[in-house]
Structure 1
Amino acid sequence: MTDAVVSFVLEELSKFVKEEGNSLTGIEREFKDIKYELESIQVSLKDADTKAADEGGGGANEGIKTWVKQLREASFRIEDVIDEYEYSKYMAENNNHSGFIASLQMIPNIIKTMNSRHQIASEIQDIKLSLGEIKERSQWYAVKSESGLESYRGVKAPRIDDTRMAPYFIQETQVVGFESPKDELVRCLVGGTSELMLVSVVGMGGIGKTTLASHVFQNQVVKNYFDCRYFVTVSQSYTLREMLIDMVKKFFMDNNEPIPKFLWKMDNNTLITHVRQHLQSKRYLLLFDDVWKESFSDEIEDALISNDKGSRIIVTSRMMHVAEYFKKSFLVHIHHLQPLPPNKAWELFCNKAFRGQCPAELEDISNDVVQKCGGLPMAIVATAGLLSTKAKTVFEWKKASKNLRMELERNVHLTSLIKILSLSYDDLPSHLKSCMLYFGIYPEDYTITTKRLTRQWMAEGFVRCEERRNPENVAEEYLTELIQRSLIHVSKVGFDGKIKSCQVHNLLREVILRKMQDLSFCHLMHEGDEQVTVGITRRFSIASISKNVLRSTSNSGIRAIFVFDKDELSKDFMDGLSAKFKLLKVLDFENSLLNFVPDNLGNLFHLKYLNLSRTKVTVLPRSIGNLVNLESLDLRHTTVDELPREINKLTKLRLLPVYYRKYDEHYSMLNFTTGVQIQEGIGCLKSLQQLYFLDADHGGIDLIQELKMLRKLRKLGIRRVRQEYGNELCATIQKMNHLESLYITAIDEEVILDLDFVSAPPNLKVLNLEGRLTKLPNWIPKLQYLVKLRLSLSNFEHDPLDTLKNLPNLLRLNLWDDAFSGDSLHFSVGGFPKLKELDLTRLNRLSFVSIDKDALVDLEHFRFNNNPQLKVLPKDLQNLKNLQFLGFADMPATLVDSINPEKGGPCHWIINHIPLVRIRQTVGSKFHDYKLYSIPTQFKV
């Protein structure tokens, strides 16, 4: 765990030394010496880190824990002194003003900088002494570690007293919630192709993979179908040789043959030959339980002979990428095991806690406990086992439930569960451990948006810089790996398959909280969730603010502060942030009641990420221009309508989303979203990759010309565009070769958007045009990578679908607000081959929609919204066999009634094959004033 901290600091040191290059003198050379010293210590760290995390070990382990703690704190000091030095250097470089009067004015700052550099030099010397002492002790621990205690993680196979043995011996009648997956797996094993097939069961630790696989393995139908069956526990520390020897031993024993005397001396090739010879003539079933590495597939492939007899292999793993890798060599069926549904979770809990019915007086408490277990069978069984030992009284159960977190650390029923969940974290590479710990910063049951999370990782320096690669893409790969390791649960996926939000399981969060505390990663100030701050901590997560919340800490090395509290933030609190925590890199106030930004915000020289979205902030201070390292400024859903001129000094700024949506007012296409006014000089922001929504009307053609300098832009949103800006806007957009998302909105409904680019932006994926078009621009049908297209107010007189239907990768199409002014739309055969979502909204003249039988073959979501002339249900909806959702909002009553079986709707048969059909009806003047109800179909939702 500390290895992650040391690795991060070493990366920072390496980056610093590289940037300084050959100019290393004085203090800079000292940093190079520290780097070499830290690298030599790191060699001894990994083993010591594992033992420091071990629960046992007595005095020897306590000594290792102390050493690891000292090394971690020394690493923190190194990180602090690097940041202090960079700030001091920046101040010195910016104090070089010409002129006598200017020099006199800067004397106080020069003296302050000199004192700072003296303090830094002194701190560096002290750090070097500390590292020398830590290095001496590391040599002693390196010797001791050779005879160290057996780590839980290193066990090759489950012991008899190991919690992981339990699934092998659960009776068939005790298994709850696996009926459906068990039937699915049995069908895969005993049916289908005669070709060798591998069935993989994937899921997080404790979800029941081994329980499910072992019961399928022991199923009587399965037993009768196969000539021979073998169960092999792989685990993390397997060796191929030991596993092959074990398999050969079992083969000889099953045949009542003596085990060869020289079995242990055989090489791998001989062992593989024995395995192949034994399996050659048999329909065999092999179960490899708890596989962790992709390389396992390559290592075992030669031994698993394909004899066209319907042989099968079962693999259980926490890693989706491990399961996927088997596809390289085998026909694979993957079953992603899900948490138990609430009814099955309740049944399992009652079976274990009461051996039957739950007493009425304990139902509420029991429901809360089951909910905390999040459908994880092992957690349910362990918690129920603990509570079954308590007196069946409300008082005793309330006390046990309240102290569940404490019980996780000391009760034999739960400590093994925590160890098993910890295995997945411990297996992570160091850079992903830091990313994983970030999930503990957010409150329990919090749904975390992907962009927010990955941008915080980037600001903290957790995302490794890779040449020619966008850091956002690298961060998304980190998140994907955590998901594939079954550590993170995906909450929402976008129409394009990208992950929008995610969560961590409550029990896994408990593991993270313990790791965070051990590592001084973050101090929680959550109601009922607060940990005691001991020594150094690097982050504050504040969900419950007290008056002394920051005043009481002397820790100035805080790197990130997150505010989730719903109370208003006082001026003292806000002023204190900038004054006290000058090394801050991340400051997140999203969805809080913050209503102002303090003038001293500019003190935060190192700040890289500032999130003010969904706050009540209306104005930014001019001091924001001092945040020269700022990379992300999030002003979404705020009423900030003008940015100070000083914003143009932020040459490292990459992300600038700023807009407000008027949900409390009557909807209007052009005025629903407001943008921001930016002063002259925006062309200086050459690192910008996202800028939306910009009010073009404020700067006019001069502003649009300046945008040509922003060659790295990937997302541009520009509003209030006048007709005379057309030519200049086209010329500007053509300069943006990296542009992926483009939003253009006219200043009013009568303005014609003339957007005849000479050539289309080559990488455009998202296009949103709001304004009158004399014709469909001829470059739109040529957008090979376009996945989302929204046209509004276009007033096309002729059906545009025939021109658009061949867009090869289009997934979502929205035609809104008289984009089409005709009365009939036709979706022809073969058109829109990949389209998944279609939205026809406020097309005031539309009265007829026809869909050919083989059109829209992949469509999953179809919405009709406020099309007053469409009074008859399109019968061709029956052709959309893959449709999962059909929505009608504010549509004519005749159409809605025609599909409602409760009103004898004659057209209900047309939509009866669709799983979800939903009706929305506006009931007020505001955007969210509506009621919803569903039309019943043959599917139960």
Structure 2
Amino acid sequence: MQPSFRRPPRRRLPPIRTRHHERSPHLLRLHREPRQTDPDLGRPGPRHRYDIEDWIDLFAHRVDGGRQNADDTSGVIQWFRRGFDKLKTLPARHVVATELQQLKARVSELSEQRKRYRFDPPVGYAGGRSGSGIDPRLTALYADSSRLVGLDAPVEEVAKMVMDNGNTGLKVVSVAGMAGSGKTTLATEVVRHLGKQNHFHCSAFVSVGQKPDIAGKTLKSILSQIGDGYGGGDDIGRLIGMLRERLQDKRYIIVIDDLWGKAEWSTLQCCFPNNNLGSRIMVTTRNDVLAKECSSNLGEYIYKIGLLSDADSRDLFFNKAFGKRNGCPDYLRDLSNQIMARCQGLPLAIACIAGVLAHQSSKDEWEWYASNLLPDSHSDRSNSLKQILNLSYNDLPSHLKACMMYLSIFPNNYEIDVEHLLRRWIAEGFISDGRRANREDTARSYLTDLISRNMIKTLHLRDDGTPSSCTLHPVIHDFIVVKSMEENFVTVVDAQLEAGSMNNGTIRRLSVQSSVRQDHAVAQNDTIKHARSVTVFGHASGVPLLTEMSVLRVLDLEGCKGAVCLDGLCKLLLLRYLSLRGTDVSELPAQIGDLRCLETLDVRSTQVKELPASIVRLEKLMHLLVGNAKLPSEIRKMKALVTLSCADVGRSTVNVIQELGELGNLRELELFCEATEISGDKKQLSFPSDGFSSLKQLRIHHSLPLVAFVTSSLPKIEVLEMKFEEGLPDESSGVSGVENLRSLKHVSIEFSQNDSGAAATVASVRNASEMLHPNHPVFSVIIDGMNN
């Protein structure tokens, strides 16, 4: 019998805060004191956008989370157990039902207040001071060519790409690059350069922008610039016809600047006839994928604009800030170098910041910009930089905005491991299950999209061409940090933290990047009890008390120095991502198997020697990275495992290889092994013909090359990486059967020492890969740190 609930008495609402309350004094009457509720579940407070989801999750785990599988019990026992569970959880059900009804009433009241006070931003509102509304790209169209730096070589290269005198057909050349990299300036200079040589009968330069008006603005502007006017009217079909007619017998060059969408390009393509007179179109865009679709010959004519060199950056900065290249006073030289280092060759950032500082002689102002390129300044030049970056950010769909803002968790210039980032996105709930793709593939597609939009920069690639690490340009990083703080999405605590600055609202995601002195204050702060994510860079003293964080989903302490306290860890029922890599942790709690939602566990490079037996109860664990820790028995029960990194296979008391082969979802395996003596013979790591049905990547770290692959083993393996310390003393190969891996695409072998045994192994594996294997996989060798 289900209990009946009466509607709870109406309670006073917590304070309501809004960006507009300073301009709406009537809202001050809506502020009330926060109410107290069940401390175990937390309470909805100001700006708690995630309260309902938190309560639902906690309700599910308080009611069902502790229930064990009962497959081995009879139906009668299960029936009695379900009834007992319902009675036992009645208090929790009542508390949650009450709170959810109060949250529903709160949402309704907030909706009514929103309508009453018209909180919707005005048309064109971009979340900040709009300034004059003038497009900052206009300055690029009328820049003094004699004062431009770093463009001589790019102009020559793009002009040569545009002309290609042997090609008389219509050709489209794309210029792609991140926001503020100088695409518009480059396109303008190319047209000027070619105009001096009278290569074209007519030219036009139009900026499409994020909200294009193809008929009312773009096409009319082109008609006007080619000298014939447009004759009135807004019918797009008529305008396209007029444009084609007037360009039909002319050799023209048209620049389509700042293109954002495929639909706009599809329309514009219809306007330009291929008259075999050597006409040209240049397209500038921030999207690499769009640049490829626009350019001729399936992406053959694309120029990816780079950043300025250190010398060019210095020339541009000094010209803008001091009026001459050598005009920097000694007391500002170090600060100038710091600012240029943060700009990292991005022309727009250098020009904007230098323009702001040109009228500032105060050293304090320069120090501020040296640590923050996007301060809350009323300077029009500073706002123009924000405006340009806002265009890229506002163009992102909502799911990519969340993924992008999440990167503000990492420090400036931090090398982000791609696999860890994707797993954290999934743990945070940013990635939904697709009908045709799993969450990992969907997350990877999100990252690829952000890279193609030039929002994220790739640092290193894997053998298969996918990125293994990435980072943010410092300018974009500062911009994203500001956005995240404005949205209360991520709270960043660094060396600039002032006392009390964390008490302005509930913290949902915390990134601690501070010193030991500040870490203790952070760890004791009461506003973090509702945090979903905690990441600590530096000292472990910054780790908050886990006993107070009931809704935590991500806990990343990788590389933290000092003792790490794990008290209360097993009470984090919603925890999905846990990284203790590189910490001083020596033992995991015996009850870690209670973390039934855990999907990623990383304890590599720690002092943990053995995993608790309860870990096999983690039915949702997909990524287990244990380093030197010994695996428990019954590892075959962990059916969800996709990635596994483990060690000491040769010394395990159970046949680990056979057990791992039964994991049908395992796609990536990393093994750390040491050779052992058995009756005077070296023990060989051998992979059987059955098992590992889904494995695609295998990395082996072995002291000696003792590996064998039998016929039909690892049927889906695509990438094989083997790292050994030294070769066998008898100069035999030690590695056999590589040719039996029928799906293999990439093989790499590495030796720490260069000896005759290593040479024999390399020769054998090379022969198997290049001569015996039917696919002829890509083969690479590294010996003693050198590519061979």
TM-score range, shorter chain: 0.7 to 0.9
Cα distance change, pair 57–197 in 1 and its aligned pair in 2 (3 A): farther
2:350 alignment partner in structure 1? 380
2:332 alignment partner in structure 1? 362
CA distance in 1, matches of 2:21, 2:299: 44
Asked whether 1:286 is paired with 2:254, we answer: yes
Asked whether 1:335 is paired with 2:303, we answer: yes
1:539 alignment partner in structure 2? 509
Alignment of 1:23-172 (within 5 A): 59=24, 73=47, 75-91=49-65, 93=67, 113-139=89-115, 148-151=122-125, 161-172=134-145
SS of alignment partner, residue 781 of structure 2: strand
Does the 8 Å contact 1:197/1:331 carry over to 2? no
CA distance in 1, matches of 2:26, 2:386: 20
Deviations 1:31-86 (A, max 9, x none): xxxxxxxxxxxxxxxxxxxxx99x999659999x99xxx99935321122112212
Cα distance change, pair 753–803 in 1 and its aligned pair in 2 (3 A): closer
Does the 8 Å contact 1:382/1:413 carry over to 2? yes
Does the 8 Å contact 2:611/2:629 carry over to 1? yes
Amino acid at match of 2:377: E
Cα distance change, pair 701–721 in 1 and its aligned pair in 2 (3 A): farther
CA distance in 1, matches of 2:337, 2:158: 31
1:640 is displaced (CA, Å) by 2.2
1:421 is displaced (CA, Å) by 0.8
Cα distance change, pair 215–72 in 1 and its aligned pair in 2 (3 A): farther
SS of alignment partner, residue 611 of structure 2: coil
User: What RMSD in Å do the two structures reach over aligned CA positions?
Assistant: 4.1
Deviates more, 1:542-551 or 1:512-521: 542-551
2:754 alignment partner in structure 1? none
CA distance in 2, matches of 1:589, 1:519: 24
Cα distance change, pair 615–318 in 1 and its aligned pair in 2 (3 A): same
Q: Which of residues 780, 794, 798 in structure 1 aligns to 2:739? A: 780
Deviates more, 1:767-776 or 1:420-429: 767-776
Asked whether 1:238 is paired with 2:192, we answer: no
1:582 is displaced (CA, Å) by 1.4
1:453 is displaced (CA, Å) by 1.3
1:497 alignment partner in structure 2? 465
1:519 alignment partner in structure 2? 487
Unaligned runs of 5+ in 1: 1-22, 31-51, 99-105, 660-674, 811-831, 842-860, 865-941
Cα distance change, pair 407–693 in 1 and its aligned pair in 2 (3 A): closer
Does the 8 Å contact 1:197/1:330 carry over to 2? no
CA distance in 2, matches of 1:182, 1:474: 38
More RCO (CA 8 Å, sep 6+): 2
1:359 is displaced (CA, Å) by 2.1
1:586 is displaced (CA, Å) by 0.4
SS of alignment partner, residue 636 of structure 1: coil
1:309 is displaced (CA, Å) by 1.6
1:200 alignment partner in structure 2? 174
Asked whether 1:474 is paired with 2:445, we answer: no
SS of alignment partner, residue 410 of structure 1: coil
SS of alignment partner, residue 310 of structure 1: coil
Deviations 1:646-693 (A, max 9, x none): 11111111111222xxxxxxxxxxxxxxx4322222111110112222
Percent of residue pairs bearing the same amino acid type: 28
Cα distance change, pair 799–553 in 1 and its aligned pair in 2 (3 A): closer
1:533 is displaced (CA, Å) by 3.9
CA distance in 1, matches of 2:774, 2:570: 45
Asked whether 1:863 is paired with 2:783, we answer: no
Deviations 1:401-421 (A, max 9, x none): 468567443222202211211
CA distance in 2, matches of 1:631, 1:592: 21
2:383 alignment partner in structure 1? 415
1:325 alignment partner in structure 2? 293
1:463 alignment partner in structure 2? 431
CA distance in 2, matches of 1:389, 1:510: 23
Asked whether 1:838 is paired with 2:776, we answer: no
More helix as a share of residues: 1
SS of alignment partner, residue 299 of structure 1: helix
SS of alignment partner, residue 313 of structure 1: strand
TM-score w.r.t. length of structure 1: 0.70
CA distance in 1, matches of 2:258, 2:46: 32
Cα distance change, pair 431–451 in 1 and its aligned pair in 2 (3 A): same
Cα distance change, pair 487–61 in 1 and its aligned pair in 2 (3 A): farther
TM-score w.r.t. length of structure 2: 0.83
1:720 is displaced (CA, Å) by 4.9
1:296 is displaced (CA, Å) by 2.5
Amino acid at match of 2:112: E
Asked whether 1:269 is paired with 2:237, we answer: yes
1:726 is displaced (CA, Å) by 9.3
Deviates more, 1:221-230 or 1:349-358: 221-230
Cα distance change, pair 332–313 in 1 and its aligned pair in 2 (3 A): farther
CA distance in 2, matches of 1:62, 1:368: 44
Does the 8 Å contact 1:714/1:741 carry over to 2? yes
Deviates more, 1:282-291 or 1:111-120: 111-120
Alignment of 1:740-755 (within 5 A): 740-743=696-699, 753=707, 755=709
Does the 8 Å contact 1:74/1:131 carry over to 2? no
Cα distance change, pair 400–805 in 1 and its aligned pair in 2 (3 A): closer
CA distance in 2, matches of 1:153, 1:232: 27
SS of alignment partner, residue 385 of structure 2: helix
Deviations 1:310-334 (A, max 9, x none): 1111111111111112247877511
Cα distance change, pair 464–228 in 1 and its aligned pair in 2 (3 A): same
1:805 alignment partner in structure 2? 770
Deviates more, 1:461-470 or 1:680-689: 461-470
Deviations 1:616-646 (A, max 9, x none): 2222121211111111111222232211111
Does the 8 Å contact 1:200/1:332 carry over to 2? no
Does the 8 Å contact 2:201/2:250 carry over to 1? yes
2:644 alignment partner in structure 1? 691
Deviations 1:237-256 (A, max 9, x none): 113322464146416x714x
Unaligned runs of 5+ in 2: 8-17, 32-43, 74-81, 752-756
1:184 alignment partner in structure 2? 157
CA distance in 1, matches of 2:480, 2:205: 33
CA distance in 2, matches of 1:601, 1:248: 64
1:609 is displaced (CA, Å) by 0.6
1:610 is displaced (CA, Å) by 0.6
Does the 8 Å contact 1:627/1:650 carry over to 2? yes
CA distance in 2, matches of 1:480, 1:431: 13
Deviations 1:374-409 (A, max 9, x none): 212121111111111123x6x455455468567443
Deviates more, 1:81-90 or 1:771-780: 771-780
Deviations 1:557-603 (A, max 9, x none): 210100102x3x35xx76x5320001111000111114445253111
Deviations 1:217-256 (A, max 9, x none): 22255561111101111001113322464146416x714x
Alignment of 1:722-801 (within 5 A): 730-731=687-688, 734-743=690-699, 753=707, 755-768=709-722, 777-778=736-737, 780=739, 783-790=742-749, 801=766
CA distance in 2, matches of 1:472, 1:600: 30
Deviates more, 1:513-522 or 1:469-478: 469-478
CA distance in 1, matches of 2:477, 2:211: 26
Does the 8 Å contact 2:692/2:714 carry over to 1? no
CA distance in 2, matches of 1:705, 1:595: 37
SS of alignment partner, residue 782 of structure 2: strand
CA distance in 2, matches of 1:774, 1:260: 81
Q: Which of residues 620, 623, 647 in structure 1 aligns to 2:615? A: 647
SS of alignment partner, residue 633 of structure 2: coil
CA distance in 1, matches of 2:110, 2:773: 61
SS of alignment partner, residue 75 of structure 1: coil
